[in-house]
Amino acid sequence: MTTHLRWGILAAGGIAAAFVSDLNDNGFTVQAVGSRSLEKAREFADRLGIPTAHGSYENLVNDPEVDIVYIATPHPMHAEAAKLALEAGKHVLIEKPFTLNAAEAREVMDLAEARGLVALEAMWTRFLPHMARVREIIASGAIGEVRTLMVDHTQDLPDDPEHRINNLALGGGSLLDLGIYPVSFAWDLFGEPLTIQSHATFKETGADATIATIFGYDGARVATTISASDTKGPNRATILGTEGRIEIDAVWYSPTLVHVYNSEGAEIETFDGAVPSRGMQFQAAEAERLVAAGELDSPLLPRAETIAIMTTLDTIRTQIDLKYPGE
């Protein structure tokens, strides 16, 4: 028996390389990689010390030495790739956004449940120590009743119309690449919004450049988010409570510092969320924990919540009139 599950990596792009590097640095077992190009798979495997390279996704998911598959394709291919792995009897960890829309998310989750397999969204931020500490601080009542979340995810990314971020055929745009982070954070903090207001600006390719949202909840609670692919902002998050506030340093969705202030503005705690590597190993550890425990649902990111988050993204897209090819 192996200490860890044996991971297969489906697609050999940049996010897959970052994930594999974190797994390699923290004692996980990466067994195989699959790409639509055998040459690319071999280059990826050689570079990252992976024993087996496959020249198709089908060969990867049918590899008997692979237990769980990490899905790292562009967004529109997530559902198809995940179903391919699930049909082959493999657990899956699927890059965020989980799928292109909520309908696809339901299909994937229904198949995983029917097969008794784990299907977990790779929203790595949920599983990081500094976010766990934020939840603990809030639960302790240290900042009183939480009322407001203000969060941005803004980057100055390439303007090339062929770049993935600007290509609607690849699910490009700010919302699915960047906005998923603050939207998921708002769900983590407050749950389902009662009201959603959205505004967007667009690039010439039709991809959304900037997305601003206001989520309303009961109890006078509100979350505001801003995401952009053409302007870089502070990339910080602030949580306001009736007795204080929490500020998460840049970049808030990655391992960083958390500051807690009382109602007089005095800092009462600083938590250093630094971890080994980039921090993507924590989501892998949760997937492995679920498999070992015979559980299908993570308390940190339940299956129903992954679908509900995709539904929120669908609502935002309806409000800003954004559709992807084939929908």
**Per-residue pLDDT tens over the stretch 207-226:** 999 999 999 999 999 999 99
Which of 2-6, 38-42, 103-107, 282-286 shows the lowest per-residue confidence on average (mean pLDDT)?
A: 2-6
Given the residues 40, 83, 90, 96, select the one marked as catalytic.
Answer: 96
pLDDT score of 2 more than 60: no
Q: What is the mean pLDDT of the chain?
A: 97
pLDDT score of 39 more than 50: yes
pLDDT of 1 reads 37
pLDDT of 326 reads 83
Average pLDDT of span 59-78: 98
Residue 40 falls in the annotated catalytic set? no
Which H, E and C letters describe 60-127, residue by residue?
HHCCCCCCEEEECCCHHHHHHHHHHHHHCCCEEEEECCCCCCHHHHHHHHHHHHHHCCCEEEECHHHH
pLDDT score of 66 more than 90: yes
pLDDT score of 165 more than 90: yes
pLDDT score of 87 more than 70: yes
Q: Which residue ranges form the domains of the chain, and what is each CATH number?
A: 6-125 (3.40.50.720), 129-274+310-320 (3.30.360.10)
